[in-house]
């Protein structure tokens, strides 16, 4: 890279006022609004960068000392103690080189709602995600197309600045991240205008998701590499999907089993019948034996939820609720009286307290 003093046309012992006057003169001459040529534009960038460095006293001092052996310290002064000083005073960072602009993207968490019938066999979703993606203009390089990062002329690409510090042991070299390039070792002179030099932009993208059968509320699915894109073209983070199963008006879930309640007219419970039950995965013919009682639970094997771990499906358990009519016309009432008079009915009597129907169903459903 060209020498900053030569770019501005000043001597190395130029005063701050001389540096400022030289910059203003060249800036008026090379500014794109005055001189639209490509060569003038590149020179304008070099002049601006040179002024940024030389107008700052600390950066100017670093630039003047850059690459030089400060304080007369070298490995020969202390022999084998050099590694010890580097370990305690940070000099070891220079051996690792500059840090990379590429970093792993952040993980993302997204909540997905599914219906109860979708988790019986699993489902496929196309999910819209607002996230960070690689900038299409620069391809993650952070630079305007046709340009590339330039080596930092303060640290000369090392990403660190070494200084001599006086201590009880004498002069010791310390290493600190370069303030000009922030430890990267390079400077992006012309950042991409689309991503502002980040190498990524916010965008909406579609993620295809296969939700397995048997998932339940609170379960998280991990999709490696589907999270946010990292800075400067770094690898993507992971996407986590947190499942929420929507409430169903008829069916509820107990592990891999499905639960529901079937209301049966009193006459069907007495005489027995075959009922057609609209299950989540198709109709089921359910046989009710004569004398069916409330709170009985009928089990249909293999008609529950597909097991998330293992094979097979749970069961469908149907609780029976016998419905007693509350409004009878005269003819119906007479028929009930004839039925009752033809049977020997026990007299009402006190017995142990029994819980309600739903309590009985709960105990039988849950074992």
Model pLDDT for residues 66-96, shown as the tens digit of each residue:
633 333 333 333 333 444 344 444 444 444 6
> How does residue 210 score in pLDDT terms, banded at 50, 70 and 90?
very high
- Give the closest residue to 194 by CA, choosing from 185, 186, 203: 203
> How does residue 176 score in pLDDT terms, banded at 50, 70 and 90?
confident
What is the reported pLDDT for 115?
93
Which residues carry a binding-site annotation? 135, 138, 152, 155, 178, 181, 192, 195
Lowest mean pLDDT among 68-72, 93-97, 161-165, 361-365: 68-72
What is the reported pLDDT for 353?
52
The three-point CA angle 318-321-325 to 5° equals: 150
* Tens-place pLDDT, residues 18-57: 998 888 888 888 876 677 776 777 788 888 888 888 888 8
Residues contacting residue 184 through CB under 8 Å, at least 6 positions apart: 98, 99, 100, 101, 149, 152, 159
Other beta carbons within 10 angstroms of residue 155's beta carbon come to 28
- pTM across the whole model: 0.62
Strand, helix or coil for residue 274: strand
What is the reported pLDDT for 141?
93
- Give the closest residue to 24 by CA, choosing from 53, 5, 48: 48
201 strand-pairing partners: 133
Q: Which residue has the higher pLDDT, 299 or 57?
A: 299
Tally of residues, the chain:
367
What is the reported pLDDT for 361?
57
> How does residue 246 score in pLDDT terms, banded at 50, 70 and 90?
very high
Q: Which residue has the higher pLDDT, 306 or 57?
A: 306
What is the reported pLDDT for 305?
93
Please give the structure tokens belonging to residue 271.
């005489």
Walk me through the domains of the chain, giving residue ranges and CATH numbers: 90-149+188-245 (2.60.260.20), 252-366 (2.60.260.20)
**Is the model's pLDDT at 232 over the cut of 90?**
yes
Which residues carry a binding-site annotation for Zn(2+)? 135, 138, 152, 155, 178, 181, 192, 195
């Amino acid at each position: 890279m060209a020498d900053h003093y030569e770019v501005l046309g000043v001597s190395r012992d130029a005063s701050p006022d001389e540096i400022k006057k030289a910059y203003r003169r060249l800036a008026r001459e090379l500014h794109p609004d005055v001189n639209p040529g490509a060569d003038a534009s590149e020179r304008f960038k070099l002049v601006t960068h040179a002024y940024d460095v030389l107008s700052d006293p600390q950066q100017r001092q670093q630039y003047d000392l850059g690459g030089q052996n400060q304080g007369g310290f070298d490995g020969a002064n202390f022999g084998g103690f050099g590694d010890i000083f580097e370990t305690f005073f940070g000099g070891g960072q220079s051996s690792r080189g500059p840090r990379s602009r590429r970093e792993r993207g952040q993980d993302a968490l997204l909540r997905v709602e599914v219906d109860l019938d979708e988790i019986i066999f699993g489902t496929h979703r196309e999910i819209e995600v607002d996230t960070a993606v690689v900038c299409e203009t620069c391809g993650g390089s952070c630079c305007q197309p046709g340009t590339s990062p330039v080596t930092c002329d303060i640290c000369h690409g090392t990403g660190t600045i070494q200084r001599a510090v006086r201590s009880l042991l004498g002069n010791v070299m310390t290493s600190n991240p370069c303030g000009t390039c922030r430890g990267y070792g390079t400077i992006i002179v012309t950042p991409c205008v689309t991503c502002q030099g980040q190498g990524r932009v916010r965008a909406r993208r579609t993620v295809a998701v296969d939700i397995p059968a048997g998932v339940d509320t609170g379960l998280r699915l991990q999709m490696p590499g589907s999270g946010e894109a990292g800075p400067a073209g770094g690898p993507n983070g992971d996407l986590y999907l947190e499942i929420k199963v929507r409430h169903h008006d008829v069916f509820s879930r107990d592990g891999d089993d499905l639960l529901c309640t079937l209301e049966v007219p009193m006459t069907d419970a007495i005489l027995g019948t075959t009922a057609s039950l609209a299950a989540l995965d198709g109709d089921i013919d359910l046989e009710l034996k004569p004398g069916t009682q409330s709170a009985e639970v009928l089990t249909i094997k293999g008609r529950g939820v597909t097991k998330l771990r293992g094979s097979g499906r749970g069961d469908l358990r149907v609780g029976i609720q016998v419905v007693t009519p509350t409004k009878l016309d005269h003819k119906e009432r007479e028929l009930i009286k004839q039925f009752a008079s033809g049977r020997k009915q026990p007299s009402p009597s006190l017995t142990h307290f029994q819980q309600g129907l739903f309590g009985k169903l709960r105990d039988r459903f849950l074992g």
